[in-house]
């Protein structure tokens, strides 16, 4: 894996964990009515998308990310 892909994957993980922190304690109604939190989550999703789009084809093809992880764990096929 390219070093820059590791950095991008770490950014993805960091932002995913940030989203989990943003929404902790909210139910859907509480979340959707908190405009600042909604915008923070949307921005984090944008950052995740930007990092994911820049991953190399090889990393995209060979790396699986698992939902809900708190530290970097991946399986290379």
Domain ranges of the chain: 3-76
Q: Structure pTM?
A: 0.76
Instruction: Count the neighbouring beta carbons within 10 Å of the beta carbon of residue 45.
Output: 13
Angle, vertex CA 44, rays to CA 73 and CA 55, nearest 5: 55
Q: 77 falls in which pLDDT band (50, 70, 90)?
A: very low
The gap between the terminal CA atoms of the chain, to the nearest Å, is: 12
Nearest to 18 by CA among 51, 54, 45, 55: 45
pLDDT digits (tens, 9 = 90+) for 7-21: 999 999 999 999 999
């Amino acid at each position: 894996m390219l070093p820059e892909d590791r950095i991008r994957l770490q950014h993805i993980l960091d932002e995913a964990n940030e989203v989990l922190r943003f929404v902790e304690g909210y139910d859907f109604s509480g979340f959707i009515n908190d405009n600042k939190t909604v915008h923070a989550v949307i921005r984090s999703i944008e950052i995740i998308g930007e990092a994911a789009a820049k991953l190399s084809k090889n990393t995209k093809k060979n790396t699986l990310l698992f939902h809900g992880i708190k530290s970097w764990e991946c399986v290379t096929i």
